[in-house]
């Protein structure tokens, strides 16, 4: 499924958190705007992680159950994004102009009507 960028988006984090399966994390607060995203810390970084990749051991501790990167996708108005995964109002996709991959919020995108 493809989406058209209707509002320019630039990454908010220049050093995104990257975690692998089995990584222990400290779980912080859930984002108020983007439900299902938790601010987490590892021994060397911090950032937003979706609940779908966390095994919650308690309210403040968890384990990562799937490799994950918080890399965001820069995109200009008019770019086309090919969706790979959708989680909690964000998609992991490929910018068809640059071939870069990353997360981008759905609120800057418009679903394209695909030809049959």
79 Cβ contact partners less than 8 Å away, ≥ 6 residues apart? 4, 5, 95, 96, 97, 98
Task: Extract the tokens encoding 113.
Answer: 């009507």
CATH 2.30.30.40 spans which residues of the chain? 2-12+73-111, 18-69
Query: What's domain 18-69's superfamily in CATH?
Result: SH3 Domains (2.30.30.40)
pLDDT bucket at 113, cuts 50 / 70 / 90: confident
Question: What integer pLDDT is reported at residue 108 of this predicted model?
Answer: 98
Question: Looking at the predicted structure, is the pLDDT value of residue 116 above 70?
Answer: no
pTM of the model: 0.91
Arithmetic mean of pLDDT, 57-72: 98
On whether the CB atoms of residues 38 and 46 are closer than 8 A, the answer is no
Q: 2-12+73-111: what fold?
A: SH3 type barrels. (2.30.30)
């Amino acid at each position: 499924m493809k989406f058209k960028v209707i509002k320019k988006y630039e990454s908010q984090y220049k050093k995104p958190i990257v975690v692998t399966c089995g990584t222990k994390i400290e779980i912080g607060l859930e984002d108020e705007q983007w439900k299902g995203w938790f601010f987490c810390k590892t021994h060397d970084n911090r950032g937003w992680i979706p609940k779908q990749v966390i095994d919650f051991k308690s309210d403040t501790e968890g384990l990562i159950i799937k490799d994950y990167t918080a890399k965001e996708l820069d995109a200009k108005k008019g770019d086309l994004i090919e969706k790979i995964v959708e989680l909690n109002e964000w998609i992991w996709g490929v910018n068809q102009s640059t071939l870069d991959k990353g997360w981008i919020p759905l609120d800057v995108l418009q679903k394209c009507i695909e030809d049959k």
